[in-house]
Amino acid sequence: MTSITVVLTTHDRARLADRALASIRAQTHGVDRVIVVDDASHEPYDPPGDDVTLVRNPVNIGVCAARNRALSLVDTDLVMFLDDDDWLGPDFVAEQVRGLARTTLPGPVAALGTRVFVGTDRSERRETARTYVKGDDWMADPASTTENSLVAPVPTLRAIGGFDPDLASWEHVDLMQRLTKVCSIEHNPSAEYFSPDDDGIPRLSSSWAKVANAIELTMAKHDDEIRRDRRVEARYLRAAAANHVMAHERRQGLRLAWRSVRVLPDRRSAKTLAQAILGPRLFIGVQRVAHRWRERSNPATSAPASPAR
């Protein structure tokens, strides 16, 4: 029987960590080991119950290094990493283990599920992945946010070096690009991983400058793969530019936006360049006016998307 460890990393969010831990304990498929890494919370996190391995970091080392520390302690076949502000559907582990047991993909094989974003009004927005065969190019696909639902073979994850501690955000993009070179990915859509859509809690993913810098580091690290396809290169340039602009780093945002136009002169690149020229406040104001105009013309029009990933 396949064994699995769930790693929960937390920092100064005890209430949310309790919810995440409760979702692990509520799994319909047994979890063989739970490792909680308290990354130097100001008030040390004391997880309820005695069924977890607790690791306390004396200083804050960041989520990637914290996950790698836990990975070094894992003694099961599989591992997954749960953020403290997220939670698992009750059948998440069961569906992932079941999907891996019946996969016909060339090994080794990891698994992705469905990420469900839950709004403050309890509305749900679902994002799914696809199946990847070992050797596929992860970055060639449109950006996805299902990587958090990854369940991976421990030896394979260790062999690629785990998470990159230099990345403060977008770490899963880098991880998945390295992982798909040596590992197939089975998509199990019934394995549900839940995240709050927008509850006002500060997150690394909402820190524009950190996200922008992480995207640029990722681009530099995988420069050859990204430059193989103009669409991929332009997409990453646009993402970095938009986040720089939102962080009020307009000069760098403008430089990257202009590069995206030169790489792929399409409407999306032009929109990013306009955002860089106008600045975040004016650009968002223009977006809102345009959205209201479209709503009057077509009530079914959806809300404008955020420039963040």
**Angle ∠(36,177,201) on CA atoms, nearest 5:** 45
- Listed by start position, the domains of the chain span 4-196, 207-297
Q: 287: helix, coil or strand?
A: helix
- Note the pLDDT of residue 1: 64
Q: Where does the pLDDT of residue 189 fall: very low under 50, low under 70, confident under 90, or very high at 90 and above?
A: very high
pLDDT exceeds 50 at position 308: no
Residue range 23-42: average pLDDT?
97
- Which one has a higher pLDDT value, 278 or 258? 258
Residue, of 7 and 304, whose pLDDT is higher: 7
Where are the extended beta strands (E) located within 11-128? 33-38, 53-56, 78-83, 87-88, 109-118, 124-127
State residue 112's pLDDT score. Answer: 97
pLDDT tens digits, one per residue of 154-183: 999 999 999 999 998 889 999 999 999 999
* CATH architecture, domain defined by 4-196: Alpha-Beta Complex (3.90)
Report the candidate in 25, 37, 40 with the shortest Cα–Cα distance to residue 70.
37
Q: Residue 295: is its pLDDT beyond 90?
A: no
How far apart are alpha carbons 189 and 209 in whole angstroms?
A: 33
Q: 171: which DSSP letter?
A: H
Pair of tokens at residue 231: 């669409």
Tokens of 267: 């409407």
- The encoded tokens of residue 171 equal 């770490």
Contact status, residue 36 vs residue 45, Cβ threshold 8 Å: yes
pLDDT at 231: 94
pTM, 2 dp: 0.86
Q: Residues 37, 1, 98, CA angle at the centre, nearest 5°?
A: 85
**Can you tell me the mean pLDDT for 180-191?**
97
